[in-house]
Amino acid sequence: MPGKFIYLDHAATTPVDPRVVEAMLPYYTESYGNASTIYSLGRESRRALDNARETVAQILNAQPREIVFTGCGTESDNSAIKGVAEANQDRGRHIITTAIEHEAVLETCRYLEKRGFRVTYLPVDEYGVVDLAELERAITDETILVSVMMANNEVGTIQPLEQIAAIVKDRGIYFHSDAVQAGGSLEIDVDRLGVDLLSLSGHKFYAPKGVGALYVRQGTRLMPQMLGGGQEKNRRSGTENVAQIVGLARALQLSDADREVEITRVRGLRDRLKDGILSSIPDVVFTGHPTQRLPNNASFCFKGAEGEGILLSLDLNGIGASTGSACTSASSDPSHVLTAMGLPASVAHGAIRMTLGRENTEQDVDSVLAMLPDIVQKQRTLAPV
Ligand SMILES: *Cc1c(COP(=O)(O)O)cnc(C)c1O
């Protein structure tokens, strides 16, 4: 009898928590009013929207007016980077980011490069931590924006945002962070982190796909990327997706409520998985930072094997994992993150990322540990030398 499917790809997306669905449902069929209308049905939607905004603001230690709801994490990143670039190009046309950002940031920066902006892609060390000395050196009078992710989606490394903010501070440079992977997992206090803009995406923390948020510090000059009816205080036009926004806020609230307990539980599972793999399989590199990493992230390179082959064998055995970034797995180029960390392509090709979540148990981990050594061994005999 086949066992249950073991999902270990929470960095790609998460299931929607039933409590989130429950909070959303009334806003589809009962309180479906347009939040911009003034009669009672619309006012119900407006109230739900206001509550959601207050909830998100409170958890991030922000003001409600500093929260802009968007259509996804990608949109939040695009809006932050293009928005700052377009609104501040009179002051300079230089942007600093890192070599290991998500494509939503990297592609936006490449787009701006084609439009006359200069972009510096900071290097990282072997653990994927950004080089702060290089950041200092890269800043010029022309620099208007620094964008550094809070935690990496492939290897889970957490960046020293507070130290970066201290370097950027008082230089008239905006600081954006893609916190999509950190959202719902790490504590996010925008004042303590010192960020001016911060991106979140609901589907990475048990809310639905297709809803995101962007924190925009009061006073930030930002060109809206969606023009129209002036919703979200003119920063993102489009009729508000009330149900999804309610879902995002509820999911963030649930994550926040048992953050400490869940972090400890998931980190325990992750360490069991990591230790089990490192002790039962030879020639494995545990990628990412040993301690400064997301509690749910276990990423490896299995030398002499193809990550994709391992992934497909795991799937045949009822286990869902990833070779790294879901967004680039269609290409066979080695991951830009692992490459930036200095891993040779031959090693990076053996990458497997397992990201744990709310529904995973010790039994799940033990099932993986029981199967993986044979799977890797078989793949090693198949892989081209
Ligand atoms: C998933 C992800 C995104 C994109 O978010 P979507 O809501 O899927 O558009 C951006 N950045 C990081 C780090 C991510 O993990």
41 CA distance to ligand 1 middle (Å): 33
Residue 250 token pair: 């509820």
Question: What b/e string do you get for 286-313 counting C-beta neighbours within 10 Å, with b at 16 or more?
Answer: bbbbeeebbbbbbbbbbbbbbbbbbbeb
pLDDT confidence of residue 1: 43
Q: Which fold has domain 6-14+259-382?
A: Aspartate Aminotransferase, domain 1 (3.90.1150)
pLDDT confidence of residue 4: 85
Closest residue CA from atom 14 of ligand 1: 180
**Do 300 and 335 contact (CB within 8 A), yes or no?**
no
Give me the architecture of the 18-254 domain, per CATH.
Answer: 3-Layer(aba) Sandwich (3.40)
| 84-125 pLDDT tens trace | 999 999 999 999 999 999 999 999 999 999 999 999 999 999
Q: Is 109 among the catalytic positions?
A: no
Q: Mark the ranges of the chain whose per-residue pLDDT is less than 50.
A: 1, 327-329
Does the beta carbon of 149 sit less than 6 angstroms from any atom of ligand 1? Answer: yes
Burial of 39 (0-12, 13-18, 19+ CB in 10 A): exposed
CA 56, CA 54: separation in Å to the nearest integer? 6
> Where in the chain do CATH 3.90.1150.10 domains reside?
6-14+259-382
CA 5, CA 168: separation in Å to the nearest integer? 46
Does the beta carbon of 81 sit less than 6 angstroms from any atom of ligand 1? Answer: no
> Where in the chain do CATH 3.40.640.10 domains reside?
18-254
Q: How many CB atoms lie within 10 A of CB 330?
A: 6
Question: Which atom of ligand 1 is closest in space to residue 203's alpha carbon?
Answer: 7
Q: How many CB atoms lie within 10 A of CB 57?
A: 19
Does the beta carbon of 211 sit less than 6 angstroms from any atom of ligand 1? Answer: no
| 50-75 pLDDT tens trace | 999 999 999 999 999 999 999 999 99
